[in-house]
Amino acid sequence: MLKTQVMLVDDHAMLRHGMAMLINAEPDMEVCAEAEDGGDAMSRLESDHHPDVVLVDLSLKTLSGFELIKSMHILIPALPVLVVSMHDETVYAERALRSGARGYVMKQEPGDVLIAAIREILTGNYFLSEPMHTKLLNRFVTGNAGAELLINSLTPSEFEVLHLIGSGHSSKEIAKLLSRSIKTIEVHRANIRAKLQLKDGADLIRYATHWITAEH
Backbone angles phi, psi at 61, to 5 degrees: -70, -45
Of 38-42, 117-121, 145-149, 210-214, least confident by mean pLDDT is 145-149
Mean pLDDT (the chain, rounded):
87
Kindly report, residue by residue over 86-122, the tens digit of the pLDDT: 888 878 888 888 889 999 999 999 999 999 999 999 9
Give the pLDDT score at 105. Answer: 95
Q: How many CB atoms lie within 10 A of CB 122?
A: 17
Instruction: Kindly list the distances between the CA atom of residue 121 and the CA atoms of 6, 53, 55, 81, 111, in Å, as whole numbers in the listed order.
Output: 12, 8, 11, 8, 16
Write out the DSSP string of the chain: -PPEEEEEE-S-HHHHHHHHHHHHTSTTEEEEEEESSHHHHHHHHHTT---SEEEE-S--SSS-HHHHHHHHHHHSTT--EEEEESS-HHHHHHHHHHHT-SEEEETTS-HHHHHHHHHHHHTT--B--HHHHHHHHHHHHHTGGGGGHHHHTS-HHHHHHHHHHHTT--HHHHHHHHT--HHHHHHHHHHHHHHTT--SHHHHHHHHHHHHHHH-
Query: Contact 154/162 with Cβ under 8 angstroms?
Result: yes
Angle between helices 201-215 and 182-195 (to 10 degrees): 80
Q: Which class in CATH covers the domain with range 146-215?
A: mainly alpha
Backbone angles phi, psi at 8, to 5 degrees: -110, 130
Residue 195's closest CA among 182, 204, 186?
204
Rounded Cα distance between 1 and 15, Å, is 27
Kindly report, residue by residue over 8-47, the tens digit of the pLDDT: 999 999 999 999 999 999 999 999 999 999 899 999 998 8
Where are the domains positioned within the chain? 4-136, 146-215
Question: What CATH code would you report for 4-136?
Answer: 3.40.50.2300
Give the pLDDT score at 148. Answer: 60
Terminal-to-terminal C-alpha distance of the chain: 44
Q: What is the pTM of this model?
A: 0.72
**Is residue 139 very low, low, confident or very high in pLDDT (cuts 50, 70, 90)?**
low
Residue burial 141-155, b: 16+ Cβ < 10 Å; e: rest: eeeeeeeeeebeebe
Query: Contact 65/56 with Cβ under 8 angstroms?
Result: yes
**Is residue 215 very low, low, confident or very high in pLDDT (cuts 50, 70, 90)?**
low
Instruction: Kindly list the distances between the CA atom of residue 59 and the CA atoms of 37, 65, 139, 154, in Å, as whole numbers in the listed order.
Output: 9, 6, 27, 17
